């Protein structure tokens, strides 16, 4: 039998045996196909984990064994004002993850985006002092991580601290606290939940200069005994960039530092003029020429997307075990942030499930390249 057919049959048998008492689905699952290699996750929006989106709910339960919160654990949502925490949505996210026995990620604790202005200011709207900001950071991390201690298994502690050239981003965190804000964030998170895995997460780490900066940062943290467990490569990628060789080399280099490597925000942008970055502050003018597929993806692009996904998963699975998780940034094309970034209102096709929740050729391609397991 052809190797791919073998795999599909094996995956099917697994799905059937796992769900004997439930109605069985003929569709293979990502989590089963990659079992023993890495977890497969998805970032969820509130409609998905509060049960408002039943169709997507079914996909999530069938396909993934890890979840990340797309927005609900970001500072502006959980801690909108100095003495006000709002955990209503975050609690629902965690309940959903627990009910479905999923490995849960907390995203994120310290970032320059989606954080209210007051965090960096004193009572006179002047920059806060180092002491005040460190105490705010400690209080935020202890409260949020502490609330979900033993339930959320891994945290993106620091998100996007680097510039494209590998130097530290001049964020308010850096300007007010200084270089050691990163190590402080990790230490506070570790105090709040000593068992939690703690990650540094960023985009474009495949690019030489930024990768060098991240490797230097991670090795300095390790040398100082800072409790960092892993590095998240966001992998908001395009059809042709970065190359799988770059991705392969990046995973290998972080592995040499004895860090776990995770692909944390995977999607593949198929639209023209998509920049090689995931800088959320970028906003470009809309232009119909830059939205060429409003009514559907041409077959040639669909096939190119499937090939790109096959190449990506082949590369990731060459590092089974070192890569511990691959998480998609969304479930279906309908709810991807890529429809609105960096240009609002486009029709993008970055994920494995289409707008109706149907698996795309890219889904089959990802299943097909999964490592073959002994029967
Ligand atoms: C994005 C969300 O998907 C959007 O809904 C939100 O409006 C902006 O942020 N890198 C990250 C994620 O670490 O938190 C970002 O998520 C995408 C880029």
Per DSSP, helices labelled H in 19-128 are: 30-33, 46-49, 54-63, 75-78, 88-99
For residues 158-170, give the mean pLDDT: 98
Within-domain flag for 11: no
Given 70, 160, 183, 206, the catalytic residue: 160
For a substitution probing ligand 1, which of 71, 232, 327, 334 has the most ligand atoms within 8 Å of its CB?
Answer: 71
For residue 8, what pLDDT is reported? 39
Place of tokens 């006179």: 124
Mean pLDDT over residues 166-177, rounded?
98
Whether residue 274 is contained in a domain is answered as yes
| Closest of 241, 368, 243, 239 to residue 302, by C-alpha | 239
Position 62 scores a pLDDT of 98
The conformation of residue 84, written as its DSSP 8-state character, comes to: B
Peptide bond into 369 cis (omega under 30): no
Give the lowest-confidence range in 24-38, 71-85, 143-157. 24-38
Q: Which atom of ligand 1 is closest in space to residue 280's alpha carbon?
A: 18
Domain carrying residue 281: 38-368
Residues 6+ apart with CB under 8 A from 319: 248, 251, 252, 255, 261
More confident residue, 24 or 326: 326
374 located within any domain: no
Residues 86-124: tens digit of each pLDDT = 999 999 999 999 999 999 999 999 999 999 999 999 999
Please indicate, yes or no, if residue 21 is contained in any of the structural domains.
Answer: no
pLDDT at 10 over 80: no
219: CATH: 3.20.20.80
> What percent of the chain has a predicted confidence (pLDDT) above 70?
93
13: in domain:
no
What's the pLDDT band for 159 if we cut at 50, 70, 90?
Answer: very high
Is residue 121 part of the annotated active site? The answer reads no
List pLDDT tens digits, range 227-255.
999 999 999 999 999 999 999 999 999 99
* Ligand 1 site residues, Cβ closer than 6 angstroms: 70-71, 159, 234, 265, 278, 280, 337
Which pLDDT belongs to residue 283?
Answer: 87
Please tell me the distance between residue 338's alpha carbon and the centre of ligand 1 in angstroms. Answer: 9
User: Atom 12 in ligand 1: which residue has the minimum CA distance?
Assistant: 70
How many other C-beta atoms lie within 10 A of the C-beta of residue 371?
A: 15
Per-residue model confidence (pLDDT) at position 26:
65
Contact 41, 65 (CB under 8 A): yes
> How many whole angstroms from 178 Cα to the centroid of ligand 1?
25
pLDDT of res. 374 = 66
Q: Helix 244-255 vs helix 299-317: angle between axes, to the nearest 10 degrees?
A: 20
What's the gap in Å between 109 CA and the centre of ligand 1?
13
- pLDDT value at position 21? 38
The per-residue pLDDT of the chain, averaged, comes to 93
Residue 286 pLDDT: 84
Ligand 1 atom 10 nearest Cα: 278
Flag whether pLDDT at 20 surpasses 60: no
**Residue 146: partners with Cβ closer than 8 Å, 6 or more residues away:** 192, 193
Q: What is the DSSP letter of 371?
A: P
Alpha carbon of 18 to ligand 1 centroid (Å): 34
Displacement of CA 153 from its chain's centroid (Å): 14
Beta-strand runs (E) in the chain? 39-44, 66-69, 103-110, 154-159, 197-202, 230-233, 236-238, 260-269, 323-328
How far, CA to CA in Å, does 199 sit from each of 128, 249, 260?
26, 19, 9
List C-alpha distances in Å: 93 to 67, 148, 306, 327, 360: 9, 11, 30, 16, 27
Q: Does residue 4 belong to any structural domain of this protein? A: no
Cis peptide before 108 (omega within 30 of 0): yes
Indicate whether 15 pLDDT > 60.
no
By the 8 A CB rule, do 115 and 71 touch? Answer: no
> Cα separation of 222 and 256, whole Å?
12
Q: What pLDDT is stored for residue 2 in this prediction?
A: 40
- Residue to mutate, 341, 342, 351, ligand 1, most ligand atoms under 8 Å from C-beta: 341
Q: What is the pLDDT of residues 181-233, one digit of tens each?
A: 999 999 999 999 999 999 999 999 999 999 999 999 999 999 999 999 999 99
Is residue 22 domain-resident?
no
pTM: 0.93
In-domain check, residue 357: yes
Distances (CA, A) of 279 to 50, 77, 149, 234: 29, 20, 30, 11
- Which pLDDT belongs to residue 4? 39
Reported in sequence order, the residue ranges of 150-286 that DSSP labels E, i.e. its strands, are 154-159, 197-202, 230-233, 236-238, 260-269
Alpha carbon of 307 to those of 166, 301, 312, 366: distances in Å?
Answer: 31, 10, 9, 9
Which of 56, 70, 206, 265 is labelled catalytic? 265
Q: Does 139 score more than 50 pLDDT?
A: yes
- Bridge partners of residue 263, in order along the sequence: 233, 326
pLDDT band, residue 324 (cuts 50/70/90): very high
Dist. CA 166–CA 211, nearest whole Å: 7
pLDDT at 35 over 90: yes
* Cα→Cα distances 129→53, 118, 135, 250, Å: 44, 12, 10, 37
What's the number of domains the chain is made of? 1
Annotation says 160 is catalytic: yes
Classified as helix, coil or strand, 202 is strand
pLDDT at 279: 87
């Amino acid at each position: 039998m052809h190797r791919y057919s073998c795999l599909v049959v094996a995956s099917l048998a697994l799905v059937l045996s796992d769900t004997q008492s439930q109605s069985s689905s003929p569709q293979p699952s990502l989590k089963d196909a990659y079992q023993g290699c890495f977890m497969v996750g998805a970032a969820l929006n509130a409609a998905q984990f509060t049960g408002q989106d039943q169709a997507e709910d079914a996909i999530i339960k069938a396909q993934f064994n890890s979840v990340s919160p797309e927005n609900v654990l970001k500072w502006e949502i959980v801690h909108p004002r100095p003495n006000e925490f709002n955990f209503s949505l975050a609690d629902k996210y965690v309940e959903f993850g627990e009910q479905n026995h999923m490995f849960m990620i907390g995203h994120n604790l310290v970032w320059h985006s989606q954080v209210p202005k007051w965090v960096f200011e004193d009572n006179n709207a002047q920059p806060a002092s180092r002491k005040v900001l460190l105490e705010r950071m400690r209080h935020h991390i202890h409260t949020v991580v502490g609330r979900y201690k033993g339930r959320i298994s891994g945290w993106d502690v620091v998100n996007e601290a680097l510039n494209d050239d590998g130097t530290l981003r001049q964020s308010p965190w850096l300007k007010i606290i200084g270089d050691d804000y990163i190590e402080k964030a990790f230490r506070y998170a570790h105090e709040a939940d000593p068992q939690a895995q703690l990650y540094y997460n960023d985009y474009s780490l495949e690019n030489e200069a930024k990768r060098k900066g991240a490797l230097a940062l991670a090795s300095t943290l390790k040398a100082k005994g800072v409790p960092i467990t892993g590095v998240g490569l966001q992998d908001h990628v395009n059809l042709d960039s970065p190359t799988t060789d770059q991705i392969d080399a990046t995973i290998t280099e972080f592995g040499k530092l004895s860090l776990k490597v995770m692909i944390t925000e995977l999607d593949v942008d198929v639209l023209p003029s998509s920049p090689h970055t995931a800088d959320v502050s970028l906003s470009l003018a809309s232009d119909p020429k830059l939205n060429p597929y409003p009514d559907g993806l041409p077959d040639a692009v669909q096939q190119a997307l499937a090939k790109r996904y096959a190449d990506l998963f082949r590369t990731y699975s060459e590092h089974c075990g070192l890569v511990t998780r691959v998480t998609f940034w969304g479930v279906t094309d309908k709810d991807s942030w890529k429809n609105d970034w960096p240009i609002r209102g486009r029709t993008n096709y970055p994920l494995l499930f289409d707008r109706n929740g149907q698996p795309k050729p890219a889904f089959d391609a990802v299943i097909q390249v999964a490592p073959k397991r002994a029967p």
